[in-house]
Amino acid sequence: MTESTPEPRSVLVTGGNRGIGRSIAEEFLRCGDKVAVTSRSGTGGPEGALTVAADVTDGDSLTAAIKAVEAENGPIEVLVANAGITDDQLLLRMSDESFETVLDTNLTGAFRTVQRVIKSMVRKKKGRIVLISSVVGLYGSPGQVNYAASKSGLVGIARALTRELGSRGITANVVAPGYIDTEMTQQLSEDLQDSYRKAIPAGRFADPEEVARVVAFVASDDAAYISGAVIPVDGGLGMGH
Ligand code: NDP
């Protein structure tokens, strides 16, 4: 008996033009899925993916982007909410604006995106929501009160969603990367990067592909019974959290 090839799914990755999001999009392309990515410019996604413009802080731009993706690839069956920023500052120096901008992008941005794709998942009784958080969400990190709050908030979204829609064939999980070699971490000073490496049991940063493969698994049929989970990809840094 020959194994049947799974149907290509309509996958959307926000912030899929670079870094971890781009690797995730490439991994779904390798799996044979129909992949769309967002970037703020509307360009720069990997070859073979549809790139659409969206700013996750702007609901109207997300609505338009999702409409364009669904017209081309069909209703979204897998959403990876990956777009995110940092704006580090010790608490005493952190402005309201910095806190609000990071929350608006990382947390409210994920909410806006999930809300706009969920209706068709409910209709189909099938869907995968993967929220890209961070080890920092539950472990904490000095200078990242805004970022940590936004990333731990994603756990609340995944768990509330799991209780709301778990019986409809939809899973919602959080993938929590540790330090990954991307532009976000390359901005850190060499000294800081060295001190982080010393704290990581694996003794190194990860490649974005190591996160991408875990995301692809969480979005697969084999992961149908995993929901509301926080899956670390952090070389052991956040153990026990
Ligand atoms: P990068 O800085 O390399 O890429 C960030 C991505 O997010 C870009 O595609 C960017 O789009 C997009 N983005 C930022 N702001 C917005 C916005 N307002 N609207 C739409 N898209 C936006 O980041 P990484 O690849 O390193 O990180 C990806 C995710 O992984 C983030 O959520 C981050 O918090 C998380 N993470 C990263 C870790 C790391 O070590 N690198 C560790 C743990 C978590 P554009 O190009 O248009 O600006």
**Domain segments of the chain as ranges:** 10-232
Categorize the per-residue pLDDT at 1 as very low, low, confident or very high, splitting at 50, 70 and 90: very low
In short, whether 139's Cβ falls inside 6 Å of ligand 1 is: no
CB atoms within 10 A of CB 89: 15
Whole-angstrom Cα distance, residue 89 to residue 94? 5
232 forms bridges with which residues in the sheet?
Answer: 176
In short, whether 141's Cβ falls inside 6 Å of ligand 1 is: no
Tell me: the pLDDT tens digits for 22-70?
A: 999 999 999 999 999 999 999 999 999 999 999 999 999 999 999 999 9
Given the CA of residue 208, which atom of ligand 1 is nearest to it? 25
Average pLDDT of the segment spanning 140-157: 97
Tell me: the pLDDT tens digits for 87-142?
A: 999 999 999 999 999 999 999 999 999 999 999 999 999 999 999 999 999 999 99
Q: What is the enclosing helix (H) or strand (E) of 162?
A: helix 145-165
Amino acid 188: pLDDT: 86
Whole-angstrom Cα distance, residue 239 to residue 235? 9
pTM: 0.97
Given the CA of residue 20, which atom of ligand 1 is nearest to it? 25
- Tokens read off for 21: 């999001």
Please state, in angstroms and as integers, the Cα–Cα distance from residue 200 to each residue in 77, 87, 152, following that order. 35, 23, 20
Which residues make Cβ contacts (< 8 Å) with residue 110, sequence separation at least 6? Answer: 56, 81, 131, 154, 157
Given the CA of residue 106, which atom of ligand 1 is nearest to it? 32
Average pLDDT of the segment spanning 1-8: 66
Whole-angstrom Cα distance, residue 41 to residue 31? 26
Whole-angstrom Cα distance, residue 100 to residue 119? 28
Length of the chain equals: 241
Whole-angstrom Cα distance, residue 35 to residue 227? 22
Pocket test residue of 18, 138, 233 for ligand 1, highest count of atoms within 8 A of CB: 18
CB atoms within 10 A of CB 195: 11
Closest CA to 80 of 141, 138, 143, 9: 9
- Tell whether the model's pLDDT for residue 157 goes beyond 80: yes
Coil, strand or helix at 171: strand
Q: Which CATH class is domain 10-232?
A: alpha beta
The ipTM, to two decimals, is 0.99
- Tell whether the model's pLDDT for residue 177 goes beyond 50: yes
Amino acid 192: pLDDT: 86
Amino acid 206: pLDDT: 97
Amino acid 183: pLDDT: 87
In short, whether 108's Cβ falls inside 6 Å of ligand 1 is: no
- Tokens read off for 88: 């580090």
